[in-house]
Structure 1
Amino acid sequence: MKKTLLASLLLSSLACFAVQAQTTSTQSNGDWTGSGELGFASTTGNTRSQNLDAKLGLNQENAQWKNSFFLDALRSKTQVKVQQPNGTYTKKYDTTANRYDGGASVGYKLDPRSYIVGAGRYEHDDFGANTWSAIVSIGYGYIALKTQSTELSFEIGPGFKEYQPADTTITVNGVSQPYSQNRQKEAVARGLVNYKYRLTANTTFDNTFLMEAGSKDKYFQDDAGLVVSMTKKLSLKVGYEVRHHSTVLPGVKKTDTLATTNIVYNL
Structure 2
Amino acid sequence: MPRLAYSLLTLTLLAAPAMALVPPDYQEPPSDFKAEVETGFQLNTGNTESTSFNGRTKLVYDTSNARQEGTLKAYFASDSEKTTSEKYDLQLQSNYKLNGGYVYGRGDFTWDQFGSYTEIFTVSSGYGFDAISDEDTKLSLEVGPGYRYNLPQENDEQPDPIAEKDLILRLAAKFEQRIHEYTSLTADITTEVGDNNNTVSLDMSYKNTIFLNWAFKVGFNIKYTEIVPVGTKQTDTISTFNLLYTFQ
- In the superposition, the TM-score normalised over structure 2's length comes to 0.80
* Aligned mate of 1:163, from 129, 150, 156: 150
In the alignment, is residue 127 of structure 1 matched against residue 127 of structure 2?
Answer: no
In the alignment, is residue 104 of structure 1 matched against residue 92 of structure 2?
Answer: yes
Give the Å deviation of 1:50: 7.0
Assess if the C-alpha contact under 8 Å between 1:129 and 1:245 holds in 2: no
Give the Å deviation of 1:124: 0.3
Residue equivalent to 2:173: 193
1:54-80, CA deviations, whole angstroms, 9 ceiling, x for partnerless residues?
Answer: 11112233321132111001010001x
Structure 1 counterpart SS, 2:125: strand
Residue equivalent to 1:62: 63
1:233 alignment partner AA: N
Assess if the C-alpha contact under 8 Å between 2:41 and 2:240 holds in 1: no
Assess if the C-alpha contact under 8 Å between 1:169 and 1:251 holds in 2: no
Runs of at least 4 residues off by over 6 Å: none
Give the Å deviation of 1:224: 0.6
Structure 1 counterpart SS, 2:211: coil
Distance 1:50 1:128 in 2: 16
Distance 2:166 2:41 in 1: 37
* Aligned mate of 2:131, from 113, 120, 144: 144
Residue equivalent to 2:76: 75
Distance 2:52 2:243 in 1: 14
1:119-177, CA deviations, whole angstroms, 9 ceiling, x for partnerless residues?
Answer: 1111000111111011111100111111111111011100111120111235xxxxxxx
2:86 alignment partner AA: N
2:34 alignment partner AA: T
Distance 1:168 1:30 in 2: 50
Residue equivalent to 1:224: 204
| % identical equivalent positions | 26
Give the Å deviation of 1:193: 1.3
Name the structure, 1 or 2, with higher relative contact order (CA <8 Å, separation 6+): 2
* Aligned mate of 2:220, from 225, 237, 240: 240
Residue equivalent to 1:82: none
Distance 1:129 1:237 in 2: 28
Residue equivalent to 1:18: none
1:77 alignment partner AA: S
* Structure 1 alignment gaps of length 5 or more: 1-26, 42-48, 80-92, 171-177
Distance 1:149 1:201 in 2: 9
Distance 2:86 2:57 in 1: 17
Give the Å deviation of 1:180: 4.2
Distance 1:139 1:198, change over 3 A: same
Structure 2 counterpart SS, 1:230: strand
Question: How many residues were matched structurally?
Answer: 212
Larger Rg: 2
Assess if the C-alpha contact under 8 Å between 2:54 and 2:75 holds in 1: yes
Distance 1:251 1:258 in 2: 20
Residue equivalent to 1:16: none
Distance 1:184 1:126, change over 3 A: same
